[in-house]
Every structure is written in structure tokens, then in C-alpha cells.
Structure 1
């Protein structure tokens, strides 16, 4: 009976959208092709498998909800459980500290593709392609500076680490027949007033040039900025200006994390500028609350504007969407599902926008008509199209996933000590 109601609502929605020139089938087909890059660190609060101790270097997970993944097997199980409630086929984004080290300590300048062999096998078996990140935080040599450290020994350590991460990403991309997107973010900065800004940025530029000396075919490099880090609030070496300059000059992908800017900045507004000068953009979507707090993504104005701008720029093939939050205060599998589905809902609404008509109004200076249609579009039955998309993908429709995640908590995660 429920499927029949979903079908009826969908047919009405289909007619409503057709009346304003929107093909909902085409929109769903486009959404089907978009793979989110799910972040492995939501499952275990960015702990990884090195057992190095507490998080450092501007990284902080808040909350102590019971049942987090304690090992690789549990993390993989949780990721697959979350993915089973998210329509479509998606990717998994790994940090280097999530390698399969066989219970042995492998320092980060010694990591190799072999330490991710089991991940590559697992990904193939579960039809989930991989992305990758170097990891500069939470290490005895992290300190306040890594790739920009004046100490050549420390700087060389992190250069070697990142070079090896690129080699791992290359092997992942080769094995999966699709480029692995490798993100580079370092926490480097200063807690208080800095009098040597130029030095550290010059060192960072040199380190990056050394890291990118080798050209690869099966991976793509991203560089990610931040406005400030926890404990490093006064100065960030890898600022947005630095990485935009570096990305443009070196033809690299720039990563935009929605939590890494001033609260009044529009990340959506940055897309059209950057896409004129760099090949692609990587997005890390989260929800900042007053600061880069990495709350679970929801269907808010910021995420909606971001997704609409991707579509308006005709850039679905040039903008990669990854998630980057780690909320330890609620059910972690639920956090995955809420954030992923919210992002997809925003993309769907962007795809259902009557863009041709809106652009015609704008070109003719019909500004009343443009604003009126934008407002009316907000109340069109996009949710009926979303329900049909979920139904077609064989995942829970509406709030049905809540009870299923509650059951998984009762049966599985609540039994973890």
C-alpha cells in the first residue's frame, strides 16, 4: 500500500514539475550518477588504527555516545550498514591512519600500498571505490608545524609521508579503474601573533612542490585550506588565499570545506570563480556551528545554495562531493545517514530547479518573475520525487531508516564496550 501511495504522489509531482519545464526522470538519472565520498572517520571519532593516543593538531571530536567502531572489522561493518540506507552507489574516503598495519607500528614515512591491500580488496567486493588523505595530525612530529616546519628533519618526514600517500592513492585508483582523489590538508599554524608568515608559507610551497614532483595517472591531488585550527587560532599557513594561488599556479584541485571559512562567507559563491581557473573542485560538506565544529550535515540554506550552484555552473562532472563531519554525540551510523541523505536531497532540489525559465527571466530583466518562481519552487513536491528515488534504489523511504538503525544499535553497537 505504501508503494502505491509513493507512486501516486510521484505522478502528481511529475506533472507539477512538467508544467514548469522540469523532467523529474532526468533529474533522478543525474542524481543516480553522483557518488558521495563517505568519510571513514565518522565511525570511530577519527581514532584510526595507529593507537597513538589523543587527537592533536587542530582535530577534535566531541561527545562520547556509546558503540563506536573499535577496530577495522567494526568500522567496515558500520560503513556498509550506513551505506545500505543511502540511495545510490558511493565511495569511501580513508585517512592514512586507517591502514591495515597488522597490529604493528608503521611510522608514517614508511607507509606503503601493501598496508591498504585489504581495503582495496574490501572495496572491490563491496562495489565501493576509495578516496584518500594524508594524515599530519596526532603524531609525535606534528607539533604546530609539519610541511612548513623550519626543522628540515621534521619537514622531510612529512614530505616523505605525503609522497607515500600519493603512491597509495595511485595504486587505489589503478586497482579500481577510477581516479582516487587524494586530499592534502595540514594543520600548520600559530596560536598567537606570528612575525614570520612569509617564511612558513615559502617552506610549505617548497614542500608541496617536492611532494608533487611525480606525475600520476590514476589519482587526483587536492589541496585544502582552513581559516584557523584549534590551538592555532591566530595564523594558518595553508590559508584559502595560499591554496587558491597554489592550485591555480599548479593546476591542482582545490578542496573547499564548508566549515573552513568565516561564518558570513558563502562557499557556494566561490565555485563559479574557481571553476574558471582550476580543473575541478573537491567539497567537504559539514555544518559549522559558530566554528568549524563539524556537525552533521542537514538540509539547510548553506548546503542547498552549494548544491544549486554546482548545477547552475553545469559542473556536476567537475565538482566532487565528500562529507567531513565527526559527531560523537549521537548514533554514528545515524549521523552518516542523515548527512548523506540531506546532501542528496539538496542536490535533487537543485536538479529540479526550472533553470531554463529562470535564466530566461534574468536575461530579459524580468526580476519579479525570477524571484517569484524561485520562491514558488521551494514548495513544489520535490519530496515525492525523493521518495521515489529511495524506492527505486531499494532503501528505506522517509523516516523508516530510524527504526532500522535503532535495531542495529540494539543488536550490534550497544554490545561494544
Structure 2
């Protein structure tokens, strides 16, 4: 406790209220993605296709709902706070095969019960990949009317299911539309696919739901495997579509050119939109979905959210899938790092820094920002973990090792 008290005093000298920062952080819900637990396979397919790849073959991955839920439980027991779980439609739990355009809320009752018992919220995503009708990376923009109809109906169903999540759990569910559509080589027509995508989205979002229960977002991408030359759902397309139709524009940190920083986009987006959605990943030269680290860009993203006073306006979700390491460890590292970044941001004297900038005192601004980097942040983080009754330091990793020895190794 003395280390925390000493650290708290250091931050107070900088004008930071540590107790208020910890209280704010405890109310933030981060959406943990279920697909890290099984390499994005889901329960209705055995193959991952559609411009997505998970590399590695670490032993012990979940192969059924019971195993996945047990692994999620283990991860959540090592992560501070109460959060949300992000599901893809391919994780429906059914006694018999149900096509994606026929999915209903009843096919996700088990997930709602799981969330209720643990005090979690749920987010959702239509799954427009790993399916015979998405084999050529054309779904909502396909020139084939029957293919397009199938995926339109699927997306309509997922909105209904997400609204059900929100109502049942008393926590707004984000339903995020991402499609793999595009072409490997230079297309002969760029406008046509985008016209078809726009018309499909217009139909999907025609039905109105209570925004208390459902938030709709659309997600862009710069390119993907098999669609290197042209992506139908580009950032410009979706940013304009979201703005015109009062939807959320979701920014994925791996879905931009490597020189573009999502942290720089947040304040611009929030200036014109009530809410924003993020998928936090870690690109390594491209959208490689590496485990989120406590790196500079993650800190900048968190700082922008806090500076904009937007903790209640931004849906924060994680999106990575590393099959080369223990999957539970990947979840825990990523979630704890997102929380660390938010705490790091909450422990900054933003008003003082703003004042220095406005007064053109750039020398002091630089000196202060550098000094903040070496303050005893770790002691504040450890206190937060203690308050939330989860392991401090590397103690959580010992629990993962025990779980691997007693559970994962026996699969």
C-alpha cells in the first residue's frame, strides 16, 4: 500500500486525481472477441476463408461451445473489471444446422444465459466469410442476386439478434458489418459493386430498432487476402455512408495504410458523430491482427478517447487472433493492455497540457510529456488490479500455465 500511496502523491503533484481515474476506469466496458479462442473457426464451419488468416497451431484450442466458454471464463478471471463479449454469427449454438440467413435469437440463448450469469454485455457481427456463398469474396456487392439476397437476409437477422442481446442484458449491443468483398487484380468497374453494396445496406438498415438496445456500425478495410487491388467497402465509402445514415463508423487499427494512425482520426470523427466504434488490433506492416501490446499507438488511442471526454461515446472492442501462442494468454495480455492504456491516459493532466499548447509553450509541453512517461504508473495499475480482485504483475500467467497443464493439454 505504501508504494501506491507514494505513487499517488507523485501524480497528485502533477494535478492528477488518482482515485477519480481508477473509478472512471472501473466503469469502462471493453468488448473481448470470442474468436481469439478458436482461431475464428466458429461452430458452423471447419475452415477459415474470406481474406482472413490465423497463423500457428498452438495446442489446446477450443473446439466446441463448452470449451470456448470455459476458456473465456478463465481469461475473464484474470482481467480487471466487468466487460462485454463480442460474438460472430458463426458461433450460434444449435442442435441442428441452421443456415446463416435463418438465424434467430433462440440460437444464441446459451450465450445470453452465459452473459447474464457473469454480468457481461454482448456485441455481435454478421459472418460474411467461411461460407460457400462467400467463396469468391463477393457478398453484399455480388452481381449474383441470389448471393446478395442471402447475405442481406443474414445481416437483417443479426441486427434482430443484437437488439435481443441489448434488451435482455440491459447493455447496448453493437452490431458491426464487415464484408470481404473486392478483387485480386485491377477491376473493370469500381462503381457498380459499390452501388450494389449501398443498395444492400439501405435494405439491411431499413428496419429501425431502439438505440438503447442496438447500435449499428460499418467497418472499412484498405485491402485483404485475395482482394489486394480493390476493396468495395473502403474507408471513404463507409465514412460517408455512416454519416449520411446516422450509423457508427468503425475504425479498425489494422485496416489502414501503415503510415496512417487511427489515434489521429478519433477526434476528427467524434467532432461530427455522437459515437464511434473501434477494433483494436496490432498490425505488423499490414492487417496481421497481432496481440495488442502496451505500445505508443495504443497509448495515443487511449489518450485521444480520454482527452475527448468520450469514454461513454466510444465502443472499444479488441480484434486479433494469434494461433501461435496460448490463446488465453493472448486474451489476457490484450485486454489488460487496453485497460493499462486507458489508465495511463486517465493519469495525465490533460487540461494543463492543453493550456501549454494553447499558450504556445511547446518547450514545457515537450518536457512535461516526457516526464509523465517515467512516473510510477505500474504501482497505480497494481492497485487497480488489487481493487478488482485479479492477480497483479505476472501472477496471472501462473494461473494460465496451470490451466494449460490441467485443461488445454488434455484436449
TM-score, structure 1 as length reference: 0.97
More off after superposition, 171-180 vs 70-79: 171-180
For residues 394-415 of structure 1, the C-alpha deviation after alignment (integer angstroms, 9 at most, x for no partner) is: 1000011111100000000010
Q: Which residue of 1 aligns with 2:305?
A: 310
> Secondary structure of 1:288's match?
coil
Picking from 214, 233, 244, the partner of 2:207 is 214
Picking from 4, 7, 20, the partner of 1:26 is 20
Q: Which residue of 1 aligns with 2:128?
A: 136
User: Does the CA-based 8 Å contact 2:51-2:137 persist in structure 1?
Assistant: no
User: Does the CA-based 8 Å contact 1:247-1:278 persist in structure 2?
Assistant: no
Picking from 84, 106, 110, the partner of 1:118 is 110
Q: Which residue of 1 aligns with 2:368?
A: 373
Displacement after TM superposition at 1:119 (Å):
1.0
Matches within 5 A, 1:317-336: 317-336=312-331
User: Does the CA-based 8 Å contact 1:252-1:279 persist in structure 2?
Assistant: no
Displacement after TM superposition at 1:277 (Å):
1.8
Distance in 1 (CA, whole Å) between partners of 2:273 and 2:237 is 14
> Secondary structure of 1:322's match?
strand
Distance in 1 (CA, whole Å) between partners of 2:229 and 2:94 is 36
User: Does the CA-based 8 Å contact 1:136-1:146 persist in structure 2?
Assistant: yes
> Secondary structure of 1:274's match?
helix
More off after superposition, 142-151 vs 330-339: 142-151
Q: Which residue of 2 aligns with 1:39?
A: 33
Displacement after TM superposition at 1:128 (Å):
1.2
Distance in 2 (CA, whole Å) between partners of 1:243 and 1:106 is 30
Q: Which residue of 2 aligns with 1:263?
A: 258
Matches within 5 A, 1:195-344: 195-217=188-210, 218-344=213-339
Displacement after TM superposition at 1:385 (Å):
0.5
For residues 261-301 of structure 1, the C-alpha deviation after alignment (integer angstroms, 9 at most, x for no partner) is: 11110101111111122221111111111111111000011
Distance in 1 (CA, whole Å) between partners of 2:359 and 2:272 is 29
Distance in 1 (CA, whole Å) between partners of 2:353 and 2:69 is 44
> Secondary structure of 2:409's match?
helix
Distance in 1 (CA, whole Å) between partners of 2:336 and 2:112 is 25
Displacement after TM superposition at 1:8 (Å):
1.0
> Secondary structure of 2:127's match?
coil
Displacement after TM superposition at 1:124 (Å):
0.5
Distance in 1 (CA, whole Å) between partners of 2:216 and 2:127 is 14
Displacement after TM superposition at 1:231 (Å):
1.2
Q: Which residue of 2 aligns with 1:11?
A: 5
User: Does the CA-based 8 Å contact 2:183-2:229 persist in structure 1?
Assistant: yes
Q: Which runs of 4+ in 1 moved over 2 A?
A: none
Structure 1: any 5+ residue segments left out of the alignment?
1-6
User: Does the CA-based 8 Å contact 1:282-1:320 persist in structure 2?
Assistant: yes
> Secondary structure of 2:277's match?
strand
Distance in 2 (CA, whole Å) between partners of 1:279 and 1:136 is 27
Picking from 371, 385, 393, the partner of 2:380 is 385
Distance in 2 (CA, whole Å) between partners of 1:390 and 1:276 is 33
Displacement after TM superposition at 1:53 (Å):
3.1
Asked if 1:94 is matched to 2:94, the reply is no
TM-score, structure 2 as length reference: 0.98
> Secondary structure of 2:378's match?
helix
Picking from 154, 166, 169, the partner of 1:173 is 166
For residues 127-168 of structure 1, the C-alpha deviation after alignment (integer angstroms, 9 at most, x for no partner) is: 111110000001000022100011111101100000000000
Displacement after TM superposition at 1:317 (Å):
1.0
Distance in 2 (CA, whole Å) between partners of 1:215 and 1:276 is 25
Distance in 2 (CA, whole Å) between partners of 1:29 and 1:16 is 18
Matches within 5 A, 1:174-189: 174-189=167-182
Asked if 1:127 is matched to 2:122, the reply is no
